[in-house]
Structure 1
Amino acid sequence: MSAARPAASADDRRLMCEFCGYRTAIQWNLQVHRRRHTGEMPFSCQTCQARFPASYQLKSHLERHMDAGERRQRHICTDCNVGFSSSRSLYHHRTLHEDGKRFKCSQCDKSFAQAAGYAQHKRMHRQRNERATETTNLQDLQTRRKLTSDF
């Protein structure tokens, strides 16, 4: 009689850090992660000698040594030719060119492609409502004072 072995879970097949138990399916991720524990920093900046555990971190750091104009030439929108100082800024800008504006205001008919624009717009509504409430409260207080002073 042979006992059936339980199937290995996806977690069992993942690579694990021997220092802290972090798991990943990608060898490179584990290698870079282990460097947090060992302190190994094989990638260094030739300008300021800053050191990094991963090449992508050095690449990102090197942009800090460029002036803003140089950085903007590296991250250009293919739709409108506007340059950005970081790939992240370009990434967020790209949503402006998408057809659908996913963020729709429930208080008016405006819609936004980016969450940040929508959040700013909602703050405007909130501030208007707060000012209106403050004005109403002030008017109520003045009315009550007038009524009590008449007696």
Structure 2
Amino acid sequence: MNQPTDVPVVEGLPHGNPENKTYSDEPKETGQQQEKDALCNKTCGIDCGQFDEGVSSEQHSHIQDRSEEGKRLARKSITETPYVCQDCGYRTAYKSHLSRHRRKHTGEKQYKCDRCDYSATQKCNIDRHVMVKHTGEKPYVCEECGYSTANKSNLTQHMIKHTGETPYMCIECDYRAVSKSHLSVHMRKHTGEKPYKCDLCDYTATQKGHIDQHVMIKHTCEKPYRCGECIYKTAKKADLYRHMRKHIRERAYKCDKCDYTAAHKYHLDEHVIIRHTENCK
């Protein structure tokens, strides 16, 4: 794994830096006195003569300021986030955060639901699972419309409908998100990171939901999403929604006297005669 360096690459130099060199204002050897550069008469250790036209005094000061700031930020990053994941380079200031992060790679799920076989890497996920699957509790309520949910992030996402706010911006594209977690998931499209791994094959994914769906389709053949109109069932919720639109289109004929709908006009006519015509009652 590449470790951050405390000697940053200098950017913004005249005519670029084709060799991608790094620079330091420290003497190369202890006790060695630095010589002044012939072009700019400075002693910061940057060889201004390697650039096509040298650098002016103002440019030199700017370069040195950038170099100093870069080194300061690099040292700050290493000092303030000393705990590093050996698998992906994730850094954090807290050992507990690193331990929690490591579970993404190890697959360890130390928290278990006492009502079913569900397990999770974090206790908050267990609490949310219990509310959603077992108690039906929905403590997060929208004050605008009464929408309620068991998940705080769902409420935050719902509030976009009312506020339109998307404060988290991707630095690589125009994507904007309502939450930091959504932005983190999106960023994996740019970084290529796939922290979730299938236990049964080599498949990896950017989101846990994709792993769950993969397992149902490729390994267990489980199809938990069922149509209430026919015998159709599927492993994908999106496929069920798409299928249900067929039934909605099929029942295009609606009775104007009750809620009855039909796929064919003659069924609707028959319904009207039987249910709403006086002579047939």
TM range (shorter): 0.3 to 0.5
| Higher relative contact order (CA closer than 8 Å, sequence separation 6+) | 1
Task: Calculate the TM-score normalised by the size of structure 2.
Answer: 0.28
Bigger Rg, which one = 2
**TM-score (norm. length: structure 1):** 0.46
